Structure 1
């Protein structure tokens, strides 16, 4: 009989090991999926439903509520349902954002394994969380999905394009085509930059061929300040889109940019 408590602790320690290679991490993921079918991805409890999580873990995830109705930045309770100060001072080029979770705790761990270790198991869980977190009206809204593009050099270095992976599978789930944007120049990393610096760093970074559908949704794994989505939304409007939404799995809480 499998000792599930032991397996949970062992799996968590393996995933946190800094020296573990991508290959080993993915083998651990694959082995767990085969050895422990029908178990919650977070606590390994038995699952009564088709989702890869139990109800208790799902409820305890860091949900991004309440949030600004335009950019999805987390809001204090007193500001519930109102535009945040950033959107009042400088409205973004996208019309609204859907970002169901905080980039924190178990969600941050899943994103890191997905983005930097190319874990398909983590990617599948994030994809399901994204679909569940989108209201039905949002899921049926776009005419095309536009993944936030990596520069080709960075994609080669990383060996994995997480936004394209998510958008391709989300498009199949929703029955929507992909429209591909191009990274026109290799911008420096956004880490450590404030909101204004991020916008300046990305100026003119994206291009798309003309003829986009009227309604498009931009797709990425994490939304930090929204500067990348803002710049890409401008390029989409120049290519013919009239309405643009920004979709991501998780939003970085204020103060952690």
Structure 2
């Protein structure tokens, strides 16, 4: 009986370990490419969870991030045509201007909480994009461009606990987006305290009084410079006001505040 000219392995034999390695390497390269390329491959919108071209889709931005008139000094929502709210007219904050991309509410509150407390650093990119979109329009409308961007600093203990400073993750990306210098080494928090979320207005103001100081590098870098402070959320404005005063005492020519979200008036 003639021997077969070729022998075929049964189709149901498992692939060899070498084949497994090849498949895993190829899958890893594909995932890495998708992660780097992002919009070219599409992404789940972080709000509606539908597959879209970007991490925050245009329909969700139109629905949840439409521009609203805001007080130029504290970014609270105001009526159309109003430049400053009554509180800022009575007691102007030390910031010359404040920008907020959105109100702190659905769906941004949950995304910010994940970004801030659940190690979801990957959200920095789409959330910075939300700020970039609004800031570009604000610059076109006359908001002065600063010389320097600084993040609201954390205490060393809070930084170790969290693993990163969410304000710096926003600030450094904003610096790249607008070709502005961003520095995280100019201001430090020298007095700690309880989580701000648990405190009310007067308690927040007492807790942050004297809590910040310029570093040696900051004493040189901020003098006569126009500075923007970046933070994720502005509630009472106590933190940003104290930071602005610290920068002004160090010789800053002006201080703006840029925040991702502003807690609405109650």
TM range (shorter): 0.7 to 0.9
Query: Looking at CA atoms only, which structure, 1 or 2, has the larger radius of gyration?
Result: 2
Q: Which runs of 4+ in 1 moved over 6 A?
A: none
Q: Residue in 1 aligned with 2:6?
A: none
CA distance in 1, matches of 2:81, 2:199: 27
Q: Residue in 2 aligned with 1:93?
A: 94
Q: Residue in 2 aligned with 1:175?
A: 179
1:198 is aligned, of 179, 201, 204, to: 204
Residues 119-144 of structure 1: CA deviation (Å, up to 9, x unaligned): 13321110100100112347871111
Larger mean Cα displacement after TM superposition, 135-144 or 113-122: 135-144
Q: Is the Cα–Cα contact under 8 Å of residues 99 and 249 in structure 1 kept in the other structure? A: yes
Q: Structure 1: which 5+ residue stretches go unaligned?
A: 1-29
TM-score by length of 2: 0.75
Q: 1:123 to 1:92 in 2, by over 3 A?
A: same
Q: 1:184 and 2:190 equivalent?
A: yes
Please state how far the C-alpha of 1:62 moved relative to its aligned partner. Answer: 4.3
Residues 125-174 of structure 1: CA deviation (Å, up to 9, x unaligned): 10100100112347871111010000001111122210111112211222
Q: Residue in 2 aligned with 1:243?
A: 254
TM-score by length of 1: 0.77
1:71 is aligned, of 69, 74, 82, to: 74
CA distance in 1, matches of 2:52, 2:254: 42
Q: Residue in 2 aligned with 1:147?
A: 151
Q: Is the Cα–Cα contact under 8 Å of residues 215 and 242 in structure 1 kept in the other structure? A: yes
Q: 1:54 to 1:157 in 2, by over 3 A?
A: closer
CA distance in 2, matches of 1:254, 1:103: 10
CA distance in 2, matches of 1:174, 1:100: 16
Q: Residue in 2 aligned with 1:158?
A: 162
Q: Is the Cα–Cα contact under 8 Å of residues 72 and 98 in structure 1 kept in the other structure? A: yes
Q: CA RMSD in A?
A: 2.4
